[in-house]
Amino acid sequence: MPREPFILLEDVSKGYSVGGQPVHALDHLTLSIDKGDMCALMGPSGAGKTTLLNMIGGLDVPDSGKVMVGGLDLSRLNEMQRASFRKRNVGFIFQFYNLIPSLTAYENVLVPVMFERDQRRSRAEELLDRMGLSRRMDHRPSELSGGERQRVAIARALMNDPPLILADEPTGNIDSETAREIVSLFRQLNDEGKTLIMATHDRMMAGKARSMLRMRDGRISGIKASPRSSTVHLGSAQYQTQARE
């Protein structure tokens, strides 16, 4: 009996109006991704990559179709329930970091647990230490380099130990050397059992993923084998990418 995929989208559509013109961000998309995958989404701007991440992360809801994550139908949740889902299950990483300027690196990492009695301060310190920022904890974002800000953002995303990490152009605003460090860190997180899905234009980052999906006009236009094995389903078809020798 085949196991249920960790992420499942069934006939999902999402549209917006831009300048009075309708835009089909997702167009009857059916896709499933297994737990433990590290999946890169590639495609031109406007292909639907960010919208797809928002659907999987419960930041948005489809106009039609179903979005399942970990057996939970996000399409049937209200906003409060989706917020609870995000807090327990998803870590978000953005191109422009989305750090709070007035807070230190340490305080930014604590944001996901800010209103909890047990703020797990030791975990925040451990995560920043893992990111190589133990000496930068008291610095505000304006005092950090782009790479340091992104590592703070990654530490924040890991604060609640979510099983799913969603990254939108995580290396799009940092230098190439730091980008390689971020890719290495993502590989480590994936090896530790995290499921990662990342929208990227960075071919180096995409090449290190387990699977690569190309998007165009709100649909998956292709899949490419990558260095490590994974299984991705598009509609009724199943694609197995094999690890290279």
pTM of the predicted model as reported, rounded to 2 decimal places: 0.88
CB-based contacts of 134, cutoff 8 Å, min separation 6: 125, 128
Please tell me the total count of domains within the chain: 1
Paired with 13 in beta bridges are 64
The verdict on residue 232 lying in a domain is: no
Q: Tell me, what's the pLDDT at 150?
A: 93
Q: How far is it, in rounded angstroms, from Cα 130 to Cα 151?
A: 9
Evaluate whether residue 207 is within a structural domain: yes
Q: Which comes out higher in pLDDT, residue 220 or 237?
A: 220
For the cut 70, the answer to whether the pLDDT of residue 238 exceeds it is no
pLDDT of 219 above 60 = yes
- Whether 115 maps to a domain, the answer reads yes
Is 206 part of a structural domain of the chain? yes
Please indicate, yes or no, if residue 91 is contained in any of the structural domains.
Answer: yes
With b meaning 16 or more CB within 10 Å and e meaning fewer, what string describes 151-190?
bbbbbbbbbbebbbbbbbbbbbbbeeebbebbbebbbebb
Residue 4 resides in a domain: no
Q: Read off the pLDDT band of 228 (50, 70, 90).
A: very low
**108 falls within a domain:** yes
> What is the arithmetic mean of pLDDT over 180-204?
93
Instruction: Read off the pLDDT band of 243 (50, 70, 90).
Output: very low
How much is the average pLDDT of 23-52?
92
Residue/partner pairs of 116-123 with CB below 8 Å, 24 or more apart: 120/159, 123/159
Residue 107 lies in domain: 35-59+77-226
CATH of the domain at 158: 3.40.50.300
Domain assignment present for residue 238? The answer is no
